[in-house]
Amino acid sequence: MLFFPYLFPTAAGVLGLVLGSFYSVCVSRGIAGTSIVRPPSHCPRCGHRLRWWELLPLVSYLLLRGRCASCGERISPLYPLIELASAVWAILAALAFGPGWWFLGCLALGGLYIVASGIDLQVYLLPDVLTYPAAVLGIAMGILHPGIGLWPALIGAAAGFGVFWLLAAGYRLAKGVDGLGGGDVKLMLSIGGVVGVLGLPYAVLIGSVAALAASPFFILGRGRERSMPIPFGPFLCFGAMVQMLYGPTIFRLLTGR
């Protein structure tokens, strides 16, 4: 590491690309409700089984110009975007923390967040199979982190869940419809746990600002279906991931301490 300071981040980026390819499969098959193991990777339209050179993260999408090599069916750009997001997350975590257990935890929790976000963006659902493991992992990471600890992690998880549950219940009572999904409420267990009670407001603030900034693109992209909700889960995940990486820096910038 002394002679090759960028060796670990580069290796992390490559690993992130490989994991991102797997995440994209988890997203598409999670939405379809099929196994992530069988059948092997294939075109959903013609059934063409993908060869090794069609499975290279990012590279294959560019070489194939975003289309199936067999039938020409358009490949969703979400696949390379997920791969890219995974690589960027791995590189940033490697630069921020270096090799160690916290980096591995960030990689695992970030992977759950990326898959959950990919599903939520398309079908407005955060599956329990992702939010519950994320809750366990996030709380465990917060407890083990020397800057957070047992009680801040537990209180953060409880506060995140409780506040969002009250918001969801209040909106439902006032409007008669759901404003926050149950998945968003469960997601807050992991976010509050991993950033702690002191980091929780900043993570939610960052996610809310990101959602507000992105909302015009959702509205413009829907045309006549502007009454459809905007998925909040991906932005909550984004806020949590930013806080995980740069929490102390954000605290100093916002408080002047």
Give the model confidence (pLDDT) of 89-114 as tens digits: 999 999 999 999 999 999 999 999 99
Q: Is the same domain home to 203 and 110?
A: yes
pLDDT of residue 221: 63
Q: Is the same domain home to 126 and 229?
A: yes
Q: Is the same domain home to 120 and 200?
A: yes
76 three-state secondary structure: coil
pLDDT of residue 223: 54
pLDDT of residue 60: 87
Domain boundary among 84, 99, 114: 99
Of 127, 90, 66, whose CA–CA distance to 15 is shortest? 90
Is the Cβ–Cβ distance between 142 and 152 less than 8 Å?
yes
Question: What is the spatial distance between Cα 183 and Cα 5, in angstroms, rounded to a whole number?
Answer: 40
Number of domains forming the structure of the chain: 2
Q: Which residue range forms the structural domain that includes residue 168? A: 100-257
pLDDT of residue 4: 60
Is the Cβ–Cβ distance between 160 and 189 less than 8 Å?
yes
pLDDT of residue 27: 95
Q: Is the same domain home to 57 and 124?
A: no
Question: What is the spatial distance between Cα 67 and Cα 60, in angstroms, rounded to a whole number?
Answer: 10
pTM here is: 0.93
pLDDT of residue 2: 47
Q: Is the same domain home to 122 and 230?
A: yes
Say which DSSP state 176 is in: S
pLDDT of residue 222: 59
Residues with Cβ within 8 Å of residue 157, at least 6 apart in sequence: 135, 138, 139, 142, 188, 189, 190, 192, 193
State whether the Cα torsion 89-110-244-162 is positive or negative: positive
pLDDT of residue 128: 96
pLDDT of residue 248: 85
Type of residue found at 4 = F
Which residues in the chain show pLDDT less than 50? 1-3
Q: 49 - beta bridge partners?
A: 42
pLDDT of residue 228: 64
Report CA 231 to chain centroid distance, whole Å: 12
Question: What is the spatial distance between Cα 222 and Cα 123, in angstroms, rounded to a whole number?
Answer: 14
Q: Is the same domain home to 205 and 116?
A: yes
Of 10, 23, 15, 14, whose CA–CA distance to 80 is shortest? 23
pLDDT of residue 113: 98
State whether the Cα torsion 94-129-235-141 is positive or negative: negative
**Bond preceding residue 39 cis, omega within 30 of 0:** yes
Burial class (CB in 10 A: 0-12, 13-18, 19+), 232: buried
Question: What is the spatial distance between Cα 30 and Cα 127, in angstroms, rounded to a whole number?
Answer: 9
Is the Cβ–Cβ distance between 236 and 207 less than 8 Å?
yes
Q: Is the same domain home to 53 and 178?
A: no
Q: Is the same domain home to 91 and 213?
A: no
pLDDT tens figures, 173-209: 887 777 778 899 999 999 999 999 999 999 999 999 9
CA angle 226, 131, 125 (to 5 degrees): 25
44 three-state secondary structure: coil
Domain boundary among 99, 127, 143: 99
Give 95-162 as a 3 state SS string.
HHHCCCHHHHHHHHHHHHHHHHHHHHHHHCCCCHHHHHHHHHHHHHHHHHCCCCCHHHHHHHHHHHHH
